[in-house]
Amino acid sequence: MVRNYSVRTDLALEERERFESDNVEIPGVILEENYDEEREIRVTRVQIETENGAKAMGKPVGTYLTLETPNLAVPDDEEHMEIAGELCRHLRELIEKNERRAGDDLSVLVVGLGNREVTPDALGPYVVDHLCVTRHIVKEYGKYAMGMEHANLISAVVPGVTGQTGMESAEIVRGIVNETHPDLVIAVDALAARNSKRLNRTVQIADTGINPGSGVGNHRCGMTEESLGVPVIGIGVPTVVDAATIVNDTMENFIKALESSESLKGVGEVLRSYNAGEKYEFVRELISPHLNGMFVTPKDVDEMVHHISHTISEALNMLFVSRGEG
């Protein structure tokens, strides 16, 4: 029996792993995994095909691609260009799934979600900073001004957060969509993870849109095809975990240490008998109310967010702007 426990995560992969830890199969949810050992890149596809599967996962029907690599956190330009190429390929795949091609003179609006003043939440704005926007050039001088036979119209906006503007990001973006009529919206945001090892090492791409703030319990209006009227692809990187996750991971290491001790092995086996949901709920009860709701980020998050934002913007530039792409 799977208990109803709330793990603070935006990653569909981690939602699927939660059921695996309880040995529960989810009808209507397909998991495919591919690992490139040489490049140390693991790509996992979670395909939610039915409404029952969506209800169990707590996420809409659609495709969720998760790219994991330790090199995302390494300040190496060559590694990041290789990752950008991989992201570009998967983004193209999702766009073509919607019966469009990146070289078909698409009009694309890139939305950088988050708060520029809060480093772990600044990924979206930083991506927009590095993006090559072309809509104004093509509108003014034509696509041949770009020196390309096909020229996508790329525009971008950083709507800020409700505390800064008094408006929902989705309201601002909806107004822009109604005025500029893009074929596609790509929303970039920082996410929350369940596993601290995935921080700044994971990129999720989903064709279901994005819900700003959901991972930290700050639910805002979602940006989806239903709410905006155009297809929405969400790109996110987990930059924070909640305090319960940190304590829970420590508890796992503690149980392993108990199991390796001759005198305390029995205690470790008893604790190991609890499923993931029961252990997580136990931890949440212990740390409440003082630490419950606290979120943690790595100490080098400022450097990491800058590196990763360059990687994501480079992937978008490769896909929509680079000569010969599409």
Cβ atoms within 10 Å, residue 127: 31
290 inside domain = no
Q: What's the pLDDT tens digit per position in 29-73?
A: 888 999 998 889 999 999 999 998 888 888 889 999 999 999 998
| Alpha carbon distances (Å) from 259 to 23, 157, 252, 279, 296 | 22, 52, 11, 16, 28
Residues 6+ away with beta carbon under 8 Å from 41: 35, 67, 68, 69, 71, 83, 86
pLDDT exceeds cutoff 80 at 236: yes
255 inside domain = no
> For residue 11, what pLDDT band results from cuts at 50, 70 and 90?
confident
pLDDT exceeds cutoff 50 at 4: no
For residue 158, what pLDDT is reported?
Answer: 96
- At position 299, the amino acid (one-letter code) is K
For residue 84, what pLDDT is reported?
Answer: 95
218 inside domain = yes
> The CATH number of the domain where 158 resides is what?
3.40.50.1450
194 inside domain = yes
245 inside domain = no
Q: What's the pLDDT tens digit per position in 251-297?
A: 777 888 888 887 777 877 777 777 666 766 776 677 666 666 678 88
271 inside domain = no
As for how many domains the chain has, the answer is 1
Find the domain containing 105 and state its range: 12-238+299-320
287 inside domain = no
Helix (H, G, I), strand (E, B) or coil at 48: strand
